[in-house]
Structure 1
Amino acid sequence: MTTVHNAARSQINYASDRLRPVRIWLYAMAGLVLLMVVVGGITRLTGSGLSITSWKPISGTIPPLNDLQWQAEFDAYKQIPQYEVNNSWMSLDDFKFIYFWEFVHRLLGRLLGVAFLVPFLVFLVQKRFTPQLAWPLFGLFLLGGFQGLLGWWMVSSGLSVLTSVSQYRLAAHLTAACLLFIALVYVPRSLEPGRISGVDPSRNIGSAVVLLVLVILQIGAGAFVAGLDAGMSYNTWPLMDGALVPNGLGVMQPFWKNLFENALTVQFIHRTLAYVILAYLAVLIWQQRAAGGFSGVHGWLPRIGLLVLLQVVLGIGTLLMAVPTSLAVGHQALAFMLAGVTLAYIADMQRAARVTR
């Protein structure tokens, strides 16, 4: 983040009037990542993630075009445990449904790579940004490619022994996607021209970074909930299994396994982190109101507060209704938007702090 921040400062002085297409492009890339997260959530909730059992980066862009090709894909799927244990009832038409979502998810990943690399090269030739900024941007491209590798690494975990993907690999895949998304928000926000004001913004940056870390941790915790289908049980609130602190949180040995493999403990951690984030943000808002209000850059804080409240309501609704696809996907997407808005607040505070120096 520091490298991009320094590059952004240099870049604004270099040619701020030429950076508007670059900012629009990066925001569009962030939107495409968010769309991938939504489709990825649908893919997971429909049990579609293991429907394509091979990784073909180039030829995989073309779906099956005739009955023989469809049957070959279906036969390959029949070889994995998920089909044998859970989906042996499937017909070819049923298989085509789950294949569709995984295919679209992978296609969006390829589209993201092309949509990033081509404009990047064009802007580089046009000298719309300096080499100092070009290297961090290229790093984002590499991070996107790494995300693709993580995706296949995740899928491969469910092809031989498991009937679904590893929750550890799912958490790595989703957290990496979050880091890519917020980076694609941070860079263009740092390149915004013009002055921005705020009451002593520099003292709030550290607090906002803590909030961002908590949100990212919560997204990772949510991935473990999803990977273990932990949201399908204990569908009551505010009590969980009849208590605020349920029994059985540490039944696995060694204890650390409970944090990642015990569905009860994993859901409890996800709930608890939500309460921590809500309480922490309430303190930040109260402190900022006492310190001078929400003018200028600090106008982000009440907006973040509204997003957190909506996220809590969505989370409770998703739990009580036993994880319907629409609510669950909205809950996941809003978590990413919350992380993005928090980082936009941090970027704006950094810009405002430069003005006051």
Structure 2
Amino acid sequence: MLLSGWSCRGGLRVGLGLSRSWKHGGARKGIRSVVTKVSGATSVPNAVTDRIVGKWMIVCSGTVVGAVVLGGVTRLTESGLSMVDWHLIKEMKPPSSRAEWEAEFQKYQQFPEFKILNHDMTLNEFKFIWHMEYSHRMWGRAVGLAYILPAIYFWRKGWLSRSLKLRVVGLCGFVCFQGLLGWYMVKSGLEEKKDSHDIPRVSQYRLAAHLGSALVLYCASLWTGLSLLLPPSQMSNTGRMLLLRRFARGTGGLVFITALSGAFVAGLDAGLVYNSFPKMGERWVPDDLFAFSPALRNFFENPTTVQFDHRVLGIASVTAVTVLYALSRRMPMPRRTKMAISSLLAVVYMQAALGISTLLLHVPTPLAATHQSGSLVLLSLSLWLIHELRRLPK
């Protein structure tokens, strides 16, 4: 009875639908379309799921910001070498008894930072730097979970398009790579140097690679989120707009390089070499700018040259954003795009003021951390503006 009832009512409609679809495009396509109509299912991904995935990407990019800022504070407080082991699960539980803390402290005492710099450190002082590094590592694990767990859920729900699946897989893989790169960086500060009097520090090359990959991860996540959340702006493709679009991309690249150069400044403590502005000491160009041989080494290993480069890049970024703003003044564009340009101009001058203040005050930790955070805000606004000015596909 049930079967005959279905055949008399719903079955007739399905059968008619299948016969029409067979005539116009084949049985497989007809079955898919009819089943969709009968079940009332909504195709995924769609506008609603895109917004959910876009918000997830924005949250993920925010967690990366937290990791970068916390990593900067860890570096400024010289806490990064306090944890001398790396275990993905085992180290998630911190020491809970005095005996466990003393055992952890004894492991730290076997490495160069304690022997050369912190040989008079107390257990309580060690606990502070250990907790700083522990917080950074645990935050890194939280970043990984923020990417991987929702990615699995959205994938199973069918909310990711084919292109978005490839991008999400790449982002999740990059998060894992970041963790390995972070430990590779820390290891460089735990190794015994040929000259026992060298100040123990992580390799500035590895530090720059770690920061650079974090910035790439952040930019890719933020761009994906903006693409899913913000409707495209209707921009005219005039010659002036083409110039503005190219200039905005170049400015964004300059801001990225300036932020990355800060890793070399931090890695070499180059902010403590010349604490004057605009001159470096008594000169515009210091005498020891090319003290190392070959000359190329100075750009990555000479603290004076590294600080000089960061200054020049910072001034160039301010100049580029100012020119970008001037170019946009008389061009018709949406309110949101104008807001992005105005915000970028305000933040670049604020960031320059923070950088100069940090230098003149001999790099106090709160101010230096704020300056590093400002570089991420500046990079975010640059990316937002580039996204607003992008050429739409025809």
How does the TM-score come out when normalised to structure 1? Answer: 0.91
Which runs of no fewer than 5 residues in structure 1 stay unpaired?
A: 1-12
- Which whole-Å CA distance do the structure 1 matches of 2:175 and 2:86 have between them? 16
Provide the residue aligned with 1:104 in structure 2.
135
Is contact 1:198-1:297 (8 Å) kept?
A: no
* Aligned residue identity for 1:183: A
Q: Which of the residues 224, 228, 251 maps onto 1:191? A: 228
List per-residue Cα deviations over 1:198-246 (Å, max 9, x = no partner): 4545543322221121111111211111111111121111111212222
How does the TM-score come out when normalised to structure 2? Answer: 0.83
Report the 3-state secondary structure (helix = DSSP H, G, I; strand = E; otherwise coil) of the residue aligned with 2:190: coil
- Which whole-Å CA distance do the structure 2 matches of 1:202 and 1:151 have between them? 40
Provide the residue aligned with 1:182 in structure 2.
219
Report the 3-state secondary structure (helix = DSSP H, G, I; strand = E; otherwise coil) of the residue aligned with 1:354: coil
The residue correspondences of 1:305-324 to structure 2 (distance < 5 A) are 305-324=345-364
Q: 1:247 to 1:293 in 2, by over 3 A?
A: farther
Residue-pair matches, total: 342
Q: Which of the residues 338, 342, 348 maps onto 2:378? A: 338
- Which whole-Å CA distance do the structure 2 matches of 1:136 and 1:184 have between them? 9
* Aligned residue identity for 1:74: F
Structure ranking higher on relative contact order (CA contacts 8 Å, 6+ apart) = 1
Is contact 2:233-2:388 (8 Å) kept?
A: yes
- Which whole-Å CA distance do the structure 2 matches of 1:92 and 1:70 have between them? 8
Which one has the largest radius of gyration? Answer: 2
Provide the residue aligned with 2:172 in structure 1.
141
- Which whole-Å CA distance do the structure 1 matches of 2:142 and 2:177 have between them? 15
How far apart are residue 282 of structure 1 and its match?
1.5
| 1:354 equivalent in alignment to 2:385 | no
Report the 3-state secondary structure (helix = DSSP H, G, I; strand = E; otherwise coil) of the residue aligned with 2:46: helix
Provide the residue aligned with 1:222 in structure 2.
262
Is contact 1:51-1:99 (8 Å) kept?
A: yes
Is contact 1:43-1:101 (8 Å) kept?
A: yes
- Which whole-Å CA distance do the structure 1 matches of 2:344 and 2:361 have between them? 26
Provide the residue aligned with 2:102 in structure 1.
71
Report the 3-state secondary structure (helix = DSSP H, G, I; strand = E; otherwise coil) of the residue aligned with 2:329: helix
Is contact 1:288-1:294 (8 Å) kept?
A: no
How far apart are residue 194 of structure 1 and its match?
3.2
Over the matched positions of the two proteins, sequence identity in percent amounts to 37
Q: Point out the more displaced range, 269-278 or 207-216.
A: 207-216
How far apart are residue 260 of structure 1 and its match?
0.9
Provide the residue aligned with 1:34 in structure 2.
65
Provide the residue aligned with 2:202 in structure 1.
165
How far apart are residue 294 of structure 1 and its match?
6.9
Is contact 2:232-2:392 (8 Å) kept?
A: no
- Which whole-Å CA distance do the structure 1 matches of 2:302 and 2:276 have between them? 18
Is contact 1:236-1:320 (8 Å) kept?
A: yes
Is contact 1:16-1:193 (8 Å) kept?
A: no
- Provide the alpha-carbon RMSD of the alignment: 1.7
Q: 1:93 to 1:198 in 2, by over 3 A?
A: same
- Which whole-Å CA distance do the structure 1 matches of 2:134 and 2:122 have between them? 18
Q: Which of the residues 281, 284, 289 maps onto 1:241? A: 281
Is contact 2:64-2:143 (8 Å) kept?
A: yes
Provide the residue aligned with 2:181 in structure 1.
150
Q: Which of the residues 240, 244, 254 maps onto 1:204? A: 244
